[in-house]
Amino acid sequence: MDTIFAEFESYLFQEKKMAKNSLQAYRRDIRGFAGFLGDKQIEKLTDVNNATIISYILYLKKEGRTTATINRKMASVRAFFNFLIKRGDITDNPVTKVKTPKVEKKAPQYLTLDEVECLLGQPDDSLKGKRDKAILELMYATGMRVSEIVQMDITDINLKMGFVACGSEDTKGRVIPMGSICKKAMQEYISNCRKGFIKDSGEEALFVNYSGARLTRQGLWKIIKYYADKAGIDKKITPQILRHSFAVHMLQNGADLKSLQELLGHEDAAATQVYLMVNKNRVKDVYDRTHPRA
């Protein structure tokens, strides 16, 4: 089986052009499934049937895996068996007729406009403060992922035209406009602050730490958490909080779902539709507060 698994991984990388992070996740999922088959003493993939898949799902539940994790693993296994069908090794996919657990969708956690204003107003006028101000403004103005922010190079931002080029081998590339307030903060950081951090004139990273190296995801997360605590925001703060806030506020101010999907870089519209839950909850709150017979 090891040879077939290796060929599947090569197929995902070379033909499907799968991003590195996604490829690693598929590799873990398939290797985990292979381990399960080994424990069940199933030596031939042709012996895997619907009952085997159901047994694997029950095993994952017993292991305490979340519904989302189980569904992701089953998506990987489904793709693997589709690959075997394409090769002509099997004729049916044993996963397709098995119902996977339903994921309960939850409205994303986000900040109110007042909380965003308070958060973005926390950095001071020091070099670090101006750098952090630029980071927070850019995150809220563009809705970019934390990973995308830290991967940005100085050449990815066009202050004259007021946009950023976003994306890498792991994310969908796109061009995102930024507002005047964000542009002002970025201009201040790039013109007057960034050179105070960099040690090597050849450094390409847009945001750097005290060592002059590219800021890490962990470093950026600490920055968000620090200013959220300083602002006294009594909510569960996640690295995605400003991305979620960007999306919710855009919808609340009339943005259409398709445009928001493009701005966020979602390949699947369902990933964007989760933000509609917030608006539905907001409408219900307004109704409950204002209707005389609510």
Q: Do the beta carbons of residue 5 and residue 38 sit within 8 Å?
A: no
For 121-275, where are the alpha helices, taking DSSP H only?
A: 127-142, 146-151, 180-188, 217-230, 241-252, 257-264, 269-273
Residues with catalytic annotation?
Answer: 243, 287
Q: Is 221 left (phi over 0), alpha (psi -120 to 50) or beta?
A: alpha
Angle of helix 127-142 relative to helix 113-120, nearest 10 degrees? 150
Residues 176 and 259: their CA atoms lie apart, in Å, by: 11
87/248 Cα distance (integer angstroms): 44
Report how far apart, in Å, the C-alpha atoms of 149 and of each of 27, 63, 207, 283 are.
Answer: 26, 35, 8, 33
